[in-house]
Amino acid sequence: MISIEHLNKTFNTARGTAHPALVDIDLDIPEGQFVSILGPSGCGKSTLLYIVGGFEQPTQGAVKVNGKLITQPGPDRGPVFQEYALFPWKTVLGNVAYGLREQGVPKAQAQARALSWLQKVKLEKYAGFYPRELSGGMRQRAAIARTLAYEPSILLMDEPFGALDAHTRLVLQAELLALWEQLRNTVLFVTHAVDEAVYLSDRVVVLTGSPGSVREVIDIDLPRPRVRAELLLNRNYQNYVVHLENLLTEKEQA
């Protein structure tokens, strides 16, 4: 569904030098898969996601969605980034309804649909709150609801739980999985956390190096629905985690 072909990205820095961020990325992501891009800080994960989102242009190569070349953002690809991209002057309901209103959905209908998404992320009681009145986890739930509300077929998540405390992070991971098991849209999920990648994904793409390139692609063959507390005792889960940890540290030591 998403095909990333011979993708290269080189930034021109403020100093006039060329800074390669991604080299020769080739990836095919089938429809309905949950795919994580795993790698250390600075390996180009965000850059790759922004190019798929159409927010950045590749230097060489292409991203295609169902055969169509991506050149700009579109409602088929919904971003959820680490910085809570909520409008501070809008209520939670207003934020979630925003994308629908932009698409021309009448106000009452947009609000009703927004409210049903808030129920799905357990925020219906906070519909009238402003972002500053929410905890970090709640804000990120609102951001997820806002993107899901316009029903993108692809969800682009850039370390969406990276700024949360450890407990909230686990809660939101489980909630995201429960939601995704109903929606089954295609997810591209950027993370530097091995356990998060294994727990959530059908497939993990390990990006290493600077500039970033694909080190390995691993299919995570663990049954769903997944319960983290059970997985921690699962030999296969443990093996995936150890293998990925080794891949990441091997490169750091080199």
Q: What is the DSSP string of 79-107?
A: EEESS----TTS-HHHHHHHHHHHTT--H
Decide whether 95 or 208 has the Cβ nearer to ligand ADP.
208
For ligand ADP, give the closer residue by CB, 19 or 184. 19
95 near ligand ADP (CB under 6 A):
no
Among 47, 173, 186, 191, binds ligand ADP (CB under 6 A): 47
User: Interface with ligand ADP includes 27 (CB under 6 A)?
Assistant: no
Q: How many CB atoms are closer than 10 A to CB 31?
A: 13
Residue 213 CB, shortest distance to Mg ion, in Å, is: 16
- In this structure, the strands spanning 34-38 and 77-81 are unpaired
User: What track of x and - describes contact with ligand ADP for positions 176 through 215 (by CB under 6 A)?
Assistant: ----------------------------------x-----
Task: Compute the least distance from the CB of residue 195 to ligand ADP, in Å.
Answer: 18
> What value, to the nearest 5°, has the Cα angle with vertex 181 and ends 233 and 120?
115
Judged by the rule CB under 5 A, the positions of this chain that interact with Mg ion are 46
Q: Is 145:121 a contact under the CB 8 Å cutoff?
A: yes
Of 28-36, 44-52, 73-81, 169-177, the segment contacting ligand ADP by CB under 6 A is 44-52
Closest distance of CB 86 from ligand ADP, Å = 21
Q: Which is nearer to ligand ADP, 12 or 135 (CB)?
A: 12
Pair of tokens at residue 242: 């150890």
Dihedral, 182, 113, 80, 37 alpha carbons, nearest 10? 20
13 binds ligand ADP (CB under 6 A): yes
Return the DSSP state at 70. Answer: P
Kindly state whether residue 146 participates in binding ligand ADP, applying the rule CB under 6 A: no
Helices and strands (H and E) in the chain: how many: 8, 10
Q: Which does 43 bind (CB under 5 to 8 A by kind): ligand ADP, Mg ion, none?
A: ligand ADP
Extended strands (E) in 13-91? 18-29, 34-38, 60-65, 68-69, 77-81
